[in-house]
Amino acid sequence: MCMKKTNQLLPSLTAKEKSVLQFIEAELLTKGISPSYQEICDHFGFASFNSVQNYLKQLTQKGYVSIQQNQKRAIQLLHSAGDFHNHLVERLQVPVEPSRDSYTNQSSPKVSAFDDHSKVLPIPFLGRVAAGQPIERLSDNEFIEIPKNLVKNPRDLFALRVEGESMIEEGIFDGDTLVVQSTKVARDGDLIVASIDTEATVKRFFHKTNPQQPEMGKLIELRPANKKLTSMWYQPGQVEIRGLVKALLRNY
């Protein structure tokens, strides 16, 4: 990882470019090596390496990264995603509000823009947990940023917006955003996102016998958290597990 200073104002980044750059920063900070094309492709759900190459080309042309040819994991970071804002502030000489430490004559460690932006992680926003087909990428490849310390494992994450009140007794309300880790398996009691036919739902997962229909053998119980609703029971082949709910975000 190599960061350099410049007196020239860097070009601004689109939201998509910024998301890719922040992912590269986060990988460099946590692993010490740049992500591979495959890892970038998998993280953002791109259909092919072409999308990865296009974004890296744009970031290279704008001076944020450089790439050594014919080398693996050869993405070199030249500027943080926050450098454009910092350079603009410096050029405009915008005053920074003093911290509490400045009033007590105590100095605090300076946090660089790289350190600050590495604390967030961009993940794809795939739609709404409701009727229809929400587990499909939106046409504009929308992403949201989450605090990096919100999840232990940052891989294979995506976000969904909740619609409805089936899980209100677990504190999940209409309009909340769920951070989901992609997986095809679950254990009894896991909070999952599942697809049934063309609908997606968030429920507690159980693989058990329905006491009212013991002759059916073990079924999949999708249990709501709302006393007005009852569990839904399905044959295992009817339920496709899409992921485990790892965190919740809410705007006030």
Q: What residues are annotated to the active site?
A: 166, 203
Q: Dump the DSSP string for 186-246.
A: --TT-EEEEEETTEEEEEEEEEEE-TT-GGG-EEEEEE-S-TT---EEE-GGGEEEEEEEE
Question: Between 15-31 and 49-61, two packed helices, what is the crossing angle to 10 degrees?
Answer: 90
Instruction: Using DSSP bridges, classify how beta strands 218-223 and 199-209 pair: parallel, antiparallel or unpaired.
Output: antiparallel
Q: Which of 99, 41, 34 is nearest to 66 (CA)?
A: 34
**Sequence-ordered alpha helix ranges (H) in 128-245:** none
Which residues are within 8 A (CB) of 39 and not within 5 positions of it... i.e. 6 or more apart? Answer: 27
- State the Cα–Cα distance between residues 121 and 22, nearest whole angstrom: 7
Please name the residue that has the structure tokens 């994450």: 157
Q: Which of 211, 153, 205, 198 is nearest to 180 (CA)?
A: 153
